[in-house]
Structure 1
Amino acid sequence: MSDARWISAFLEAQAAEAGAAENTRLAYGRDLMAFCDWLGARGASLATAGRTEIEGWLAEAADAGLAASTRARRLSSVRQLYRFAFSEGWRADDPAAPLRGPGKRQTLPRTLSRAQVDALLAAAETHGRTDRDRARTRCLFQLLYATGMRVSELVALPVAAARGDPRMLLIRGKGGRERMVPLSPPARAALAVWLTLRDAAEDKAATETRRGPSRFLFPSTGKAGHLTRHRFWGIVKELAPAAGIDPAQVSPHTLRHAFATHLLEGGADLRAIQTLLGHADLSTTEIYTHVLQERLRALVLTHHPLAREA
């Protein structure tokens, strides 16, 4: 089989059997195509490459200055492809199995203070040219901070999940795992206003264009059918200066980190936060304990009289 067919079959299996999210499959595809291009330039292919070729590709990435996390992800993509190829009988060996990737340097997630989140939510109230635009922005930010959703989960929310003034939202996360997250009163209020304006716009569009209603809470005329992650990223960057925050210091995921950190500061149980975030492993959630410890340390060093004297 051609390299392209190997990758296609692997990605199909990831979707059907492993339940891999679309963004994960796209990342696998990019890494594997880059590896195939590298092999092709050297007269090799996925069927003939061995450990030496894989190590050479990774070494070249290191020489080019790629981050350890990027190289580790690339190796993970190749390793999973060859594991799949071995299980399917396409190869008699697994050349990637003995390889170990570069150690990842653990970095604390960037978060926001409560005052910064309040400023961002206040800025969202007036962002947009029309009442509909402003209502959508307000709803997006209220939902994101109230639930700690991933941005991909937020923009692709089905409108059916938001009907009937819900106290909780059902979210389908990574790997198709579902979880329930509660809504705060401000988030419910913002959702109700947005639904009214959204439905009116959808009814008007259906009359004028004869197209069916969108199944998404945040519909769009683009290919995806809903607001894209990239557009929401752009909204965040537009709002940051109005909230007095450096745009380089904030992203949609920063609000997810703020959600978790503020819950922990308020005394929430780590297991509960794990459930709300949709983490499969508690160790992923435990990073927020380090964030809290670092903030407390900075607080002491900044305000304790003995620290100031030192």
Structure 2
Amino acid sequence: MPRVLFPAVTTKRKAWNKGLLIGQKRPLMPKQVWAIRTRLELAGNLRDVALFNVAIDSKLRGCDLVKLRVTDLVKAERVRERVSVIQSKTKRPVQFELTENTRGSVTKWVVSPEMIGCRFMFPSRFHDRPHISTRQYGRLVNDWVMSIGLEPSGYGTHSLRRTKAAEIYRKTGNLRAVQLLLGHTKVDSTVRYLGVELEDALSIAEKFDI
């Protein structure tokens, strides 16, 4: 009896991004930054307050943020006002400022009992990891935005990286300054990262009469 061959059936895999909002994550607005910061401070979560504040001020990628060492931010028992680190992605240095509020939160965190003997600013609670992972950082960001009623699918770790940069661009229109602060090698990267449109550029140009 001849063997009957049936057509091969391939299982249709569900797309990994089905139902998810894909694309650039939104920066936080100033009032949202203060809402998250206030909630963390009221909860007495010293680590998360410091992490959130440093993330906003530094404008670092998550992979660089979680690897910050205590010595990167603190010198001679004082928190630095300006910090320079080498970026993992570009291998180039980038500088950032720490505001007074951020310096205060970092000071409280580094002198806490949890930080005794720690080399990294944000140590992991797992013994086999020296610092928190980017995945854990992402989960924290998710919790923070949800705590103030935001839809988490619209935000991520890059939201914190973009927040201060977007605000600086909004107020000054200075792409070159934002490029330096983000550590981009090309201004085109900054344009794409901020989502600058022609309408934005024209609006800025209209403010100048020469």
Amino acid at match of 1:185: E
SS in 2 for 1:175: coil
Contact 1:108–1:290, Cα closer than 8 Å, also in 2: no
Identity of aligned residues (%): 24
User: Is 1:192 equivalent to 2:107 in the alignment?
Assistant: yes
- Please identify runs of 4+ aligned residues in structure 1 that moved more than 6 A: 63-67
Q: How does 1:1-310 map to 2 (within 5 A)?
A: 109-127=25-43, 131=44, 134-163=45-74, 164-173=78-87, 174-197=89-112, 200-203=113-116, 213-220=117-124, 221-267=126-172, 269-287=174-192, 288=194, 290=196, 293=199
- TM-score of the superposed pair, with normalisation by structure 2: 0.74
Distance in 2 between residues matched to 1:292 and 1:109, nearest whole Å: 20
Give the 3-state SS of the residue equivalent to 2:95 in structure 1: strand
Number of aligned residue pairs: give it.
179
Structure 1: state its 5+ residue gaps.
1-62, 68-106, 204-212, 298-310
Q: Does 1 or 2 have the higher relative contact order (CA < 8 Å, sep 6+)?
A: 2
Asked if the contact 1:119–1:244 (Cα under 8 Å) also holds between the matched residues in 2, the reply is no
CA distance in structure 1 between the aligned counterparts of 2:132 and 2:91, rounded to whole angstroms: 20
Residues 25 and 154 of structure 2 are in contact (CA less than 8 Å); yes or no, is this contact kept in structure 1?
Answer: no
2:66 and 2:133 in contact (8 A); partners too:
yes
Alpha-carbon distance in structure 2 between the residues aligned to 1:273 and 1:169: 16
**Separation in structure 2 between the aligned mates of residue 155 and residue 248 of structure 1, nearest angstrom:** 22
Compare CA radii of gyration and give the structure with the larger one: 1
Structure 2: 5+ residue stretches without partners: 1-12, 18-22, 204-210
Q: Please list the CA deviations of residues 202-259 of structure 1 after superposition, one character each: whole Å capped at 9, or x if unmatched.
A: 44xxxxxxxxx33211112343310111111111122222212112222111111222
Cα distance in 2 for partners of 1:247, 1:277 equals: 23
* Deviation readout 1:70-90 (Å, 9 max, x if unpaired): xxxxxxxxxxxxxxxxxxxxx
Give 1:145's aligned amino acid.
I
Structure richer in helix, relative to its length: 1
Per-residue CA distance 1:80-132 (angstroms, 9 max, x = gap): xxxxxxxxxxxxxxxxxxxxxxxxxxx655222222222222222245xxx4x
Change (3 A) 1:66 1:137: closer
Greater shift in the superposed pair: 249-258 or 111-120: 111-120
Gap change, CA 1:196 and 1:214, over 3 Å in 2: closer
